[in-house]
A and B are shown apart, each in its own frame.
Chain A
Amino acid sequence: MATVSGASVKSIVVACEAGMGSSVMVAKQLAKQLKAQGVSVTHAPVNQLADTEHDLVLCHRGLGSRAKQAVPGSVVVMFDMFIGDLNIAKVVSLIQSGDDISDD
């Protein structure tokens, strides 16, 4: 388990298997929501997460264990739905309020 302060999150990477399909979709949605906070949202294949610079990683629960293996030291938040997900909504609100985000 790792924790990061919502106020310090400036870059988020959304991971999916190929880094070209679902992650791009989620990243685009998230970028719109976090535009005011100046957070950059990118996307990557889950096995190349280690090569990315990020304060926070998002990926679907089905790929969660691989994301954790790839970047054991990072905060990896797992979500369940590709649209209207509660965990993603929570991350957005925590970044907006500047509170701590943990991935327990």
Chain B
Amino acid sequence: MANFIPAGDGGHSGWRASVQKIGGSLAGMVIPNIGAFIAWGLLTALFIPTGWLPNEQLSSMVGPMIINLLPILIGYTGGRLVHGQRGAVIGAVATVGVIVGTSIPMFLGAMLIGPLAAWVLKKIDGVLDPVTPPGFEMLIGNFSLGIAGMLMAILGYLGIGPAVNVLSDTLGAGVKVLVDTGLLPLASILVEPAKILFLNNAINHGVLAPIGVVEAEEAGKSIMFMLESNPGPGLGILLAFWLAGPKILRGSAPGAIVIHFLGGIHEIYFPYVLLKPLVVLAAIAGGATGVATFLVTGVGLVATPSPGSIFAYMAMTPPGNHFGVLLGILLSAAVSFVVAFFILKASKSDDAADLDAAKAKSAAMKSGN
């Protein structure tokens, strides 16, 4: 570890950038709409029959929001990313076709057809724009969007909806097998290292949340929301860096703990792990411990806690689940802390080199090179 800069180079291409890019666009459709997810999650936690304040009238909003509103928002945002406001509108129109084609929350379908419809419209606009006579822009613009929107909605209804339904069922069945056989904690072996490589949003919002909402709609909660977003492992790792990390990193660790655990910005602990890559083992051990605890105590969350702050966690926890949720976070933090602590202690001898490298770098910086 003589090199102060972590190995996660800034290279100019590579599989990581590509995966991040695909995952990033999935997350980019979801993250701007998280506020709507929270509104839905709070309504669910409060007013469904097993909620804090069961209320039949108010809980009637829960279904239409998850089935209609949230997928349309995702399709709208996905379309906007590809082709601005016109893309957003056609994305929303086409998403309706996918929604009514099935009975489950169509997040994956919306993520597909929103950008696809916008891309088709972009191509159509590319052909029509140059040949549109002056004064006819609005007429042609509105009708090209309207006609293309109608066709994309029909395509969604007949093609994409049923196809994604099969995909969702398969994914759901696969997850159910993992849950039933108790193998779900093994997911941490993939999830935690991927997080450190900044695939956190891609995994959580692109993969896990779409599976989770289907389950949450039926069962009122899902453990899928907790696989990536548990703030416990990061807390344990930062605590270990505070007490046993390289001296240069200790000072910033308490601030990082507040930002990570209370503010929910997990990105803040990734650089610490990148500097001491072996610590990823602590993240995996803590993550798996958390998932196992959530599984054994049978808890889940009503919606994605985003950002992954302890406050978001508590707000998204349905009644009666708080003990299991807190226990899982606590145990995962404890396990991560112990593992990370020993890894850092064992690598103590490297610290002198680290410090020298940092000093050299800092000197170079002062001289303005």
Question: Are B252 and A84 in touch, CB under 8 angstroms?
Answer: yes
Determine the main DSSP class of A at the interface with B.
Answer: helix
Bound Cα distance A65, B251 (Å): 29
Which residues of A are found within 8 Å of B255, using beta-carbon distances? 83
Which chain B positions have C-beta within 8 A of A61?
5-6, 8-10
Residues of A with C-beta under 8 A to B197: 62
Question: A47, B10: Cβ atoms under 8 Å?
Answer: no
Chain B 250-270 per-residue mask, 1 if CB under 8 angstroms from chain A, else 0? 011001100100010101101
Which chain B positions have C-beta within 8 A of A81?
Answer: 252, 271
Scan B196-208; emit 1 where CB is below 8 A from any A CB, else 0: 0110011000000
Report B299 CB to chain A, min CB distance, Å: 25
> What's the interface size class on A, roughly?
20 to 34
Q: Does B290 contact A (CB under 8 A)?
A: no
Q: Which residue of A lies closest to B268 (CB)?
A: A82
With A65-B13, A69-B17, A82-B259 known as contacts, the answer to whether A25 contacts B365 (CB < 8 A) is no
> Looking at chain B's contact residues, is the secondary structure mostly helix, strand, loop, or mixed?
helix
Instruction: Name the CB-closest residue of B to A25.
Output: B265
A90 and B6 CA atoms in complex are apart in Å by 18
Question: B176 contacts the other chain (Cβ, under 8 Å)?
Answer: no
Report A-chain residues with C-beta under 8 Å of the C-beta of B368.
94, 97, 99
Question: Is B362 within 8 A of A86, CB to CB?
Answer: yes
- The answer to whether A17 touches B17 (Cβ under 8 A) is no
Chain A interface (Cβ within 8 Å of chain B)?
A: 16-18, 20-22, 25, 45-48, 60-66, 68-69, 78, 80-84, 86, 89-90, 93-94, 97, 99
29 contacts between A and B (CB under 8 A): A16-B267, A17-B20, A17-B24, A17-B198, A18-B32, A21-B265, A22-B268, A45-B24, A46-B24, A61-B8, A62-B197, A62-B274, A63-B198, A64-B10, A65-B12, A65-B17, A66-B17, A66-B20, A68-B10, A69-B13, A81-B271, A82-B259, A83-B256, A83-B259, A84-B251, A86-B358, A89-B365, A94-B368, A99-B368
Point out residues on B near A: beta carbons under 8 Å: 4-6, 8-14, 16-17, 20-21, 24-25, 27-28, 31-32, 81, 197-198, 201-202, 251-252, 255-256, 259, 263, 265, 267-268, 270-271, 274-275, 307, 358, 361-362, 365, 368
Given contacts A17-B202, A61-B9, 19 further A-B contacts (CB under 8 A): A17-B27, A20-B32, A25-B265, A45-B24, A45-B28, A47-B28, A63-B198, A64-B9, A64-B11, A65-B17, A66-B20, A80-B4, A80-B6, A82-B265, A82-B267, A83-B255, A86-B362, A90-B365, A97-B368
